[in-house]
Amino acid sequence: MYRVIVYDNQNDTAGEIMHEPSGYGNKIISGKVDTSFNAVNTAEFVISYQNSLYGKIEPIVNLIKVWDTDTGKTVFDGRVAKIESDFDGKHTETITAEDCLAYLHDSVQKYMAINMNDYAIVTGKQIGRAHV
């Protein structure tokens, strides 16, 4: 059984439950977590308008955690990437989330080749060298 929790931002420690595996509370219609080795893991959830989080979740801002209630371990930890709404008689939202590796796509790192002489300039630290 899995509990899915949505956090307002990185400072939110309580969160709000999107899916409670027990007989009470919010439920998702369907959900899946895709894990890959050395790649961005994704999760997808479909919620109905009866879920208290319907229409309240925002991409990039909200964070999602999937917790295995049997083992007590976190299965997925990431952020909301996109939300698609379906008003074709169902009134559902499909929420797609991506894990922390996706954060690397948010910035571009400038390439810089550093040799030992440049290291002290870049970091402000001196490296001691053993003289033989």
pLDDT for 89: 78
Pick the closest to residue 36 from 83, 82, 98, 107 (CA basis).
98
Pick the closest to residue 122 from 114, 111, 131, 110 (CA basis).
114
Structure tokens at 53: 């989080």
What is the chain's pLDDT, residue by residue, as a tens digit (132 residues)? 999 999 999 999 999 999 999 989 999 999 999 998 888 999 999 999 999 999 999 999 999 999 999 999 999 999 999 999 988 878 999 999 999 888 777 777 677 666 666 656 656 655 555 544
pLDDT for 32: 96
Q: Is 72 exposed, middle or buried (0-12, 13-18, 19+ CB in 10 A)?
A: exposed
**Segment holding 35, helix H or strand E:** none
Pick the closest to residue 4 from 53, 47, 79, 65 (CA basis).
65
pLDDT for 37: 86
Helix ranges, 1-132 (H): 116-123
Cα separation of 64 and 131, whole Å? 53
pLDDT for 12: 95
User: Do 18 and 51 form a contact (C-beta atoms < 8 A)?
Assistant: yes
pLDDT for 109: 67
